[in-house]
């Protein structure tokens, strides 16, 4: 289980995250929902070790990861919303760089490529030649090479066509089926609801609700994640 406890982060005098707490079960795909500026990207960066928090903890199966940066980076991988655009290396060179960085065997790239549906003819392509969907697959393969247990994805569906989003969902469900925990950030709530079993809703850096969708929707008497978000954030704004 991924446990996040009372994570707070300020930039100057502005509170980006305020005592954010939630837990995601192992082998589940959960969404991180909220408007632009709600704190989603900052939270994902803290969870991956790319950004330090001011206070709080991140635990994986009871082990505190923020106290052990090496373990954090081994167990948690982040795919940011900006995808690689290296014009001078091929897909094969890019993936092999990460294989060597994590001291994996030569078969690690092949396994990652197979899971992410990367075709052999892509290997000699340079990044500017790839569509956004192809870049998404390469980025996921890069994460897989490190053999993490937790996958963090920041707005992965942005700019994908319907086929690309469907293929992304299939890959994430396969990862979850293999026991990986997946946390996906998005402000497109209808899309997020299509493949997550739980959600954490952020508003102005605070968690306003979190849990399984099949429990939250009936509790608040709404049918959609968007309806849940609007209901909860309207309540927050009225306080």
Q: What is the pLDDT of residue 84?
A: 65
Cβ atoms < 10 Å from Cβ of 166: 12
Mean pLDDT of the chain: 87
For the chain, first and last CA: distance in Å? 33
DSSP codes of every residue in 186-205:
ES-HHHHHTT-SEEEEEETT
- pLDDT digits 0-9 by tens, 163-200: 778 888 888 898 899 899 999 998 888 888 988 999 99
For the ranges 41-50, 154-163, 230-239, the lowest mean pLDDT is seen at 230-239
Quote the pTM value.
Answer: 0.88
Which of the two residues, 32 and 108, has the higher pLDDT score?
Answer: 32
User: DSSP label at 84?
Assistant: P
Across the range 32-53, mean pLDDT stands at: 91
Question: pLDDT per residue over 131-148, tens digit each?
Answer: 888 888 888 888 888 888
> Which of the four pLDDT bands, split at 50, 70 and 90, describes residue 238?
very low
Sole residue written with tokens 């014009």: 87
């Amino acid at each position: 289980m991924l446990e996040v406890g009372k994570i707070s982060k300020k930039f100057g005098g502005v509170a980006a995250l305020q005592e954010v707490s939630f837990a995601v079960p192992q082998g589940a795909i959960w969404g991180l929902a909220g408007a632009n500026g709600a704190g989603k990207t900052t939270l994902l960066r803290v969870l991956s070790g790319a950004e330090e928090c001011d206070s709080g903890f991140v635990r994986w199966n009871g082990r505190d990861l923020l106290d052990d940066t090496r373990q954090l980076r081994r167990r948690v991988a982040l795919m940011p919303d900006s995808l690689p655009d290296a014009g001078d290396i091929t897909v094969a060179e890019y993936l092999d760089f990460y294989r060597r960085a994590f001291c994996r065997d030569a078969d690690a790239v092949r396994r990652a490529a197979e899971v992410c549906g990367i075709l052999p003819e892509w290997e000699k392509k340079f990044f500017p030649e790839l569509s956004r969907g192809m870049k998404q697959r390469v980025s996921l393969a890069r994460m897989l090479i490190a053999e993490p247990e937790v996958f963090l994805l920041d707005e992965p569906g942005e700019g994908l066509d319907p086929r690309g989003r469907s293929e992304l969902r299939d890959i994430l469900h396969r990862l979850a089926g293999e026991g990986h925990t997946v946390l996906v950030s998005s402000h497109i709530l209808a899309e997020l609801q299509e493949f997550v079993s739980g959600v954490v809703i952020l508003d102005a850096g605070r968690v306003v609700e979190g849990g399984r969708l099949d429990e939250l929707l009936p509790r608040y008497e709404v049918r959609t994640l968007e309806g849940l978000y609007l209901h909860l954030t309207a309540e927050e704004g009225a306080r």
